[in-house]
Homo-oligomer: A and B are copies of this chain.
């Protein structure tokens, strides 16, 4: 990410963090407070709330909302994101989150389920108070989409004939829905019209999808010293990601059964064949194909922004999209 963009996000992240601290000052239980602090003090880029702030700024033509109101709407999306990570880490029995012990490792599942419920309730209350029924249905709809996508993913996890469309349907729900809602809420708060709301939703959804595709690529091709993750995790777990789906579409009657056999076989054998499979995916255009898809998503996302007048916010959103597809970690 270039230096200007980094500085922009860092400054905004500070305001977002402060708004969360203020909003949660009234929490009574000391244990609940600690879990919330652990869940929210991640040091992340706060991409979702940033999108709300940026969406607001795209439209705001002398609207009367105070910066505090905009920030309060923004934190809704960090709360929902954090709530879903809290619950996901329980579901996946994850012990580590961003290099620290996961909340469920420290407090056990019970308090963490409840803390997620609390964040969820607070997020919706805040959205309702700032954007009425529209705000709540934006946020509630995103949560419903996330849950439905988890079930869809579980239904099709073992399918080896996963289509590109099915793959995108899952990540649209799991990642895209919340990002889209975050941007749309900002535009709505600023009084944006329906075309503007559709445009920022579209942008959010597409960069969400592109983000996941690049994740898939980094899993095979990333530099472990930069990503902080071992190479080939998805493959070792037998997960179907976009490079594999695209490669299977190109594979002949020798490669296809070979890859599918490995995917359903033992982890040990997949581990032995990791570099071989990497070469095969490259030969079958899996990586280049996925990169092309990501770039296309980003191009679509950016052209949707043309309904907004030029502004600093629009530039930042274009920069963010480019970062998503060019990032090395």
Q: Which residues from chain A sit less than 8 Å from chain B, CB to CB?
A: 27-32, 83-84, 87, 90-91, 109-111, 113-118, 120-122, 124-125, 127-130, 132-133, 135-137, 139-141, 143-144, 147-148, 150-152, 154-155
Contacts and interface: CB of A to CB of B under 8 A. Distances in A.
10 contacts: A27-B148, A29-B151, A29-B155, A31-B155, A90-B109, A117-B120, A121-B144, A125-B141, A128-B133, A128-B137
Which of A27, A114, A116, A148 has the most CB atoms of chain B within a 10 A radius of its CB? A114
B113 A91 contact: yes
B136 A127 contact: yes
A140 B122 contact: yes
A29 B141 contact: no
Given A31-B155, A111-B151, A151-B31, A137 B117 contact: no
A46 B133 CA distance: 25
A23 to B, nearest CB: 12
A252 B113 CA distance: 42
B29 A111 contact: no
Contact of A150 (B30, B91, B114): B114
B143 A118 contact: yes
B121 A129 contact: no
B133 A129 contact: yes
CB-based closest 7 A-B pairs: A128-B136, A125-B140, A29-B151, A121-B143, A91-B110, A124-B124, A118-B147
Contact of A121 (B116, B120, B133, B155): B120
Nearest to A118: B147
A206 to B, nearest CB: 22
Contacts of A111: 151, 154
Contacts of A150: 114
Contacts of A155: 29-31
A124 B148 contact: no
Contacts of A130: 133
B113 A140 contact: no
B31 A114 contact: no
Nearest to A114: B147
A168 to B, nearest CB: 15
Given A120-B121, A125-B140, A154 B31 contact: yes
Given A151-B29, A151-B111, A144 B128 contact: no
Nearest to A91: B110
